[in-house]
Amino acid sequence: MTDDPNTLVSTDWLAKHLKDPDLRILDASWYLPAEGRDPKAEYDAAHIPGARFFDIDEISDARSELPHMAPPVEKFMSRMRAMGVGDGHQVVVYDGAGIMSAPRVWWLFRLMGQENVAVLDGGFPKWIAEGRPTEDMPPIPRDRHMTVRFQNSLVRDVTQVSHASKLGSPQIVDARAADRFRGEAPEPREGLRAGHIPKSRNVPYATLLNDDKTMKSPQETAEIFKAAGVDLSQPVITSCGSGVTAAVLALALERQGHTDWSLYDGSWAEWGMFPTVPVATGDA
């Protein structure tokens, strides 16, 4: 793969830059409750040297009833300052699944106007499999100011997505597994209807990954989007269960050079809860 410090970097790249003074590493592991994993406990037991733990559920909008919605700018800035992450830093985000929740944090940084942020390809499992170093103590952070320029174009709300669904533009692409998209499998969150946003396409995020949970090449991921009926010359809104794996699709699009994308932050946790918006089932 080609390392790009604005999208995706390899474990080799990270190992080479591990001692760079302006590198900041974030462990953004997050799991569905059914997986029975505690990301903070796993971080405390072992993490990449120098990594800070980024709590997706805590660094969010506490005013929203929806899970881990993007935090207000002030909250993001204060949390990053406390973690010692700010202007002039190269950020690398990883997770314990390979590539699953780390792109969500990559998207959050992009939403806040930060460009120098990349996801670690293959994440912590690949780092461990290669016998690379870990530690069990958190670093001692030093405050660093972060200049935030919120990028409205990278996020969409339910009203905007409803318009897109009616008009068929921008295209909506759903990252959930095919059986959830079709409405054949129950949603992991209670009280949600089964199915998908009408006129949306399905690109399960796992199809964009290799067996070792690294991301397929930009050429391969582009073909997967095209095979799902996505026109890559047109804008795309990515969606999923709660706005986490939708960011995997966004990262894949960005690597392909498709920069006209946005993420539906509420995703199915919001759409599936509203009785007033329509739901489609099957492959339609």
Amino acid identity for residue 275 in this structure = P
**Left if phi > 0, otherwise alpha if psi is -120 to 50, otherwise beta: which for 199?**
left
- The residue to which tokens 């993007």 are assigned: 70
Concerning whether 97 is annotated as a catalytic residue, the answer is no
Catalytic residue among 240, 246, 251, 263: 240
* Distance from C-alpha of 132 to C-alpha of 123, rounded to nearest angstrom: 12
Instruction: Say whether 219 sits in a helix, a strand or coil.
Output: helix
**Buried b or exposed e, range 155-189, using 16+ CB within 10 angstroms:** bbebeebbebbeeeebbbbbbbbeebbbbeeebbe
* Distance from C-alpha of 222 to C-alpha of 282, rounded to nearest angstrom: 24
Catalytic residues, by residue number, are: 240
